[in-house]
Amino acid sequence: MFEREKAQLNNLKKEYENIPISLDSIDQAISTGFQKAKTEERKSRIKKKRSAFGFIAAALLLIGLFSSIKMSPALANYISELPGMEKIVSMIRDDKGRIAAVEKKYYQKQGVSDEKDGLKVTIDGTIADEMGMVLFYSIESKEKLKEVMFDDVKIRAKDGTALDEAYNSFGDVHSSEKGETKFSGEIEYFFEEPIEAKEYIVDLKLKNKDYSIPLVLNKFKEKREYAVGKSMELQGQKIDIEKVTIYPLRAAVKLRMNAENEMQILQLDDLRIVDENNEVWGKIADGITSTGDKNSVQEIYLQSNYFKEPKELYLALNSAQAIDKENAVIVVDTEKMKILKQPNGNKLRNLRKEDGQLVFDLHTKKPFRSAIFSTITDAQGKEIELSSQSMGTEEEKGTTRLGIELPPIDRSQNPLTIDLSYYPQWIKGNEKIRIK
């Protein structure tokens, strides 16, 4: 980097560090981004719009990457050894666990490709463990493309062993107003049952063409598992922690909400791992954050501290979204356009139809930018497909417009019952339990 540009970035970095940003704001931003991804019909493939903040975001990305390299000579050396590695580091810079995996040379270079009609897909490298893998890819085109995205991605074992897929994410839509010939991104793939380090085939569909790319995964590092058997408590509501498992890619906290709770706990806002020096491994910034049933066993996924190996390890929690169990759902009559039941506080109002959607106004003192709706069932208990959700904040009115797109509903299906995944109501505390 040239000295003048380096000085400019350092000056901008100082200004950036002096901007007051609360942890609540950061958590809300993360939640918002993930919710937007979840509510699109094509999950995890969202078009990114250009804005006036584009330059600032790019500059901060450079600053963050520059700072990481400056603070970690080992990482800087590793990047210098592998051309193109800086792109991969920039993709994972918000995940401390994955950055540490690269720093400790757990990243595996692949460099395998398939090409069809002037469009080449390359798996540049992987970070993998027994429960999942992250594939870093690049796309090269002989012609400039304004938009490109995968239509499908599947991973199979070369020897035919069945794989029990739990979740996959293809990454964002790549778009360019002027058109580009090169794009890069990442694919996340996780499994219900452990996989082995061996040969796999990645099947991709791109621009109506099928690609098959061989993949060899080296030996995985073994997971670290800590039996906990303790409870965390916020305002009398208990969360029973069964165990914490640390994998190279992520940490999995297995827990259940205590059956005697009077409230339905929806989200553990700031669940995090903390070591003896108060270093924090928090929520995964992009990707799946939990699996399981809110009424039974769940797994919450956090950033991994696998490559740090602290002497002491704690699980901490200060805030959770929770509502009374008696009013833990929304019940609506779409014929009469009435809200028949909702959580205490009357925050949802003005039910109506707009642009083919069922629309609510959510009234809160501060903007709540999360898509709150989950499973929808009709009067016969049959689940109704939720095509999409939309959200728009009107800060001057103190409201958030929440819309859901449903198939045609007839009279016999009313009323509809809507489960909640998020809701602007919290319980607080100061819990910290030792797990190592």
Stated pTM of the model: 0.78
Q: Where are the domains of the chain?
A: 107-220, 224-322+426-434, 326-420
At residue 181, the pLDDT reads 93
The answer to whether 14 and 8 have CB atoms below 8 angstroms apart is: no
- Is 417 buried (19+), middle (13-18) or exposed (0-12) by CB count in 10 A? middle
Residue 85: which H helix or E strand, with range? helix 85-92
* Cα–Cα separations (whole angstroms), residue 387 to 172, 292, 380, 407: 19, 22, 20, 8
Among the CATH numbers 2.40.50, 2.40.10, 2.60.40, 2.60.120, which is that of 326-420? 2.40.10
Q: Which residue is listed with tokens 């452990």?
A: 194
Q: How many CA atoms lie within 13 A of 379 on its CB side?
A: 11
The answer to whether residues 239 and 301 touch, using CB atoms and an 8 Å cutoff, is: no
Positive or negative: CA dihedral 354, 356, 360, 365: negative
Q: Hey, which residues does 204 pair with through a beta bridge? A: 153, 211
Which residue(s) pair with 227 in the sheet? Answer: 243
**In this predicted structure, what is the pLDDT of residue 362?**
94
Going by CATH, does the domain composed of 107-220 fall within 2.60.40.1630? Answer: yes
135-190 pLDDT tens trace: 999 999 999 999 999 999 999 999 999 999 988 887 678 888 899 999 999 999 99
Common-topology check for domains 107-220 and 224-322+426-434? yes
DSSP string, 18-47: TS---HHHHHHHHHHHHHHHHHSSSTT--P
Please give the Cα distance from 402 to 339 (Å, whole number). Answer: 14
- CATH number for 224-322+426-434 (one of 3.60.15.10, 3.40.190.10, 2.60.40.1640, 1.10.3720.10): it is 2.60.40.1640
Type of residue found at 158: K
CB-CB contact of 300 with 284 (8 Å):
no
d(CA 186, CA 45): 12
pLDDT along the chain (436 residues), means of 10: 42 39 39 39 32 37 43 58 72 89 93 95 96 95 92 94 89 84 93 95 94 96 96 96 97 95 94 95 82 86 93 96 93 95 94 92 88 92 88 81 92 94 95 96
| CA nearest neighbour of 370 among 72, 29, 117, 111 | 29
